[in-house]
Structure 1
Amino acid sequence: MNIKELLSRYNAGQRDFRNITLIAANLRNVNLSGVNFSGADLRGVNLTNANLSYADLTNVRLQGANLTDTNLSAANLTGVDLNGIDMSKTYLSRAIFQPSKVAIQ
């Protein structure tokens, strides 16, 4: 699936995108609030200034992703390795983590 198709389906009301692969995609400034990306491969994705509030990001692969200014309020980040990910100014209010996996730098 490409970005255009993802956004088209999202805008049509679909929220379930489990196990999707979007390596190095540019999702800058997109609104994907409430999306289910559990198990997705989002390595190298640019999510700068994106809205992923209330998203299910359980076990998502985010190595090399850019989460600068991303809204992750109330997102589920259980099982996500955040080591080395740029999270400058990322909004994390009420986000759910598995503490042993989180090491924000």
Structure 2
Amino acid sequence: MDFSAEQLAQLLATGQRPLWLSNANLSGADLQGADLAGARLVRANLSRADLRAANLEGAELTYADLSTAQLDAANLAGASLAGGNLTDASLAGANAARADLSRATLANANFSMANVQAANFSESNLAGANLAGANLQHADLSETNLAGANLRGAD
């Protein structure tokens, strides 16, 4: 399902929660600062989307495509991104505490200064990712590919 910018703005303005946008094509959408808490975005295409400072707390983004998406300062606390594609995504300063990123492709993603405390990265690919200064306390990194990842200053 494809959304025009106008249709998306109208949907967000309704205040209806949770939003059901599974399988939606939101590629390149401007969702900066949007309240998508609890939204269902399973298998949604959010590649190149601008989600800076968006609220995605508790959102279901399982198998979603967030490649090259901008998620700087976004709230992803408790969100599920399991099996998702976040290749080259930027999550600088994002809050992804307790997020499920298991089996996700996070190659070259930028998590600098992000809060990923107690997040689940098990079986994920973080090759080349930037985790400099990130809060990784209690994060599950079991069977995670960290080849070439920058962990400088990470807790």
TM-score by length of 1: 0.84
Counterpart residue type for residue 122 of structure 2: T
Counterpart for residue 22 of structure 1: 76
2:51 is the alignment partner of 1:51: no
Counterpart for residue 147 of structure 2: 93
* 8 A Cα contact 1:67 1:86, kept in partner: yes
Distance 2:149 2:81 in 1: 20
In the alignment of these two chains, the number of paired residues is 100
**Counterpart of 1:101 in 2: which secondary structure?**
coil
Residue correspondence of structure 1 range 1-105 to structure 2 within 5 A: 1=36, 2=39, 4=41, 7-10=44-47, 11=65, 15-98=69-152, 100-102=153-155
| Segments of 4+ moved more than 6 angstroms | none
Question: Higher helix share goes to which structure?
Answer: 1
Distance 1:12 1:43, change over 3 A: closer
* 8 A Cα contact 2:94 2:115, kept in partner: yes
Structure with max Cα Rg? 2
Distance 2:144 2:103 in 1: 9
Q: Percent identity at matched positions? A: 26
TM-score by length of 2: 0.58
Distance 1:53 1:12 in 2: 12
Distance 2:113 2:45 in 1: 24
> Which structure exhibits the higher relative contact order, with contacts defined as CA atoms closer than 8 Å and separated by 6 or more residues?
1
Counterpart residue type for residue 4 of structure 1: L
